[in-house]
Amino acid sequence: ESHVCGCTQHTASTDFRLRTDTSAEPQHKRARVETMLSSRLNVALRNGLSHNGVPAVARLARRSYHENIIDHYESPRNVGSMDKNDPNVGTGLVGAPACGDVMKLQMRVGKDGKIEEAVFKTFGCGSAIASSSFTTEWLKGKDLDECAQIKNSVIAAHLKLPPVKLHCSMLAEDAVKAAIKDYQAKTKKAAGETTLEVASASA
């Protein structure tokens, strides 16, 4: 079953959402997936940006969407990018093959363990962009435990997403959880390296 998303046709199914944050996947497979998603996002950015700097396939059909979606689509918050190698930054890059949306969400964790800043770059429909924008606002000031509890239903309820657009909020939830895992992996690696250095020094 398909539906019209503002200007272009997408598939409503969310059964084949692609997650890049699955730790059980082989590292080489995960790397290929992330490279593919990153490449798709970069191509989208080169091919066309809207006036506000958010890549979009076309204008949102106003009469079909709630004002909250239109607000975040036309005036998106926190569009941008951070250094993915920064140990204090967690990066989540996810895509939905069912509709072609690609979302990159990044968060910076402060010394107090709370999110100081969150940014995104998204290629997709207006609902995907709005979901990204709202989610970055929602994250600010929360600690990682709170962020990990995010539910797509919260995003969908605030934006008043229509049923055929719920997959956009699911993608945002996936991006947050992927960013948290990325940050935690960096923290664990840094802690291991510090322990190794201390052990070597005392040997």
> Could you tell me if 178 and 19 are in contact, meaning their C-beta atoms sit under 8 angstroms apart?
yes
DSSP-based three-state secondary structure for 194: helix
Q: Where are the alpha helices (DSSP H) in 48-114?
A: 67-74
What is the C-alpha separation between 96 and 120, in angstroms, rounded? 16
Q: Which helix (H) or strand (E) holds 191?
A: helix 166-202
The contacts of residue 159 (CB under 8 Å, 6+ apart) are 66, 68, 69, 72, 127, 130, 131, 134, 169
Is 99 catalytic? The answer is: yes
Is 5 catalytic? The answer is: no
DSSP-based three-state secondary structure for 200: helix
What is the C-alpha separation between 73 and 95, in angstroms, rounded? 19
Both tokens of residue 32?
């290929």
Neighbouring C-beta atoms of residue 49, cutoff 10 Å = 13
> Could you tell me if 66 and 132 are in contact, meaning their C-beta atoms sit under 8 angstroms apart?
no
> Could you tell me if 136 and 105 are in contact, meaning their C-beta atoms sit under 8 angstroms apart?
yes
**From 5, 99, 125, 147, the catalytic residue:** 99
Active site residues: 99, 168
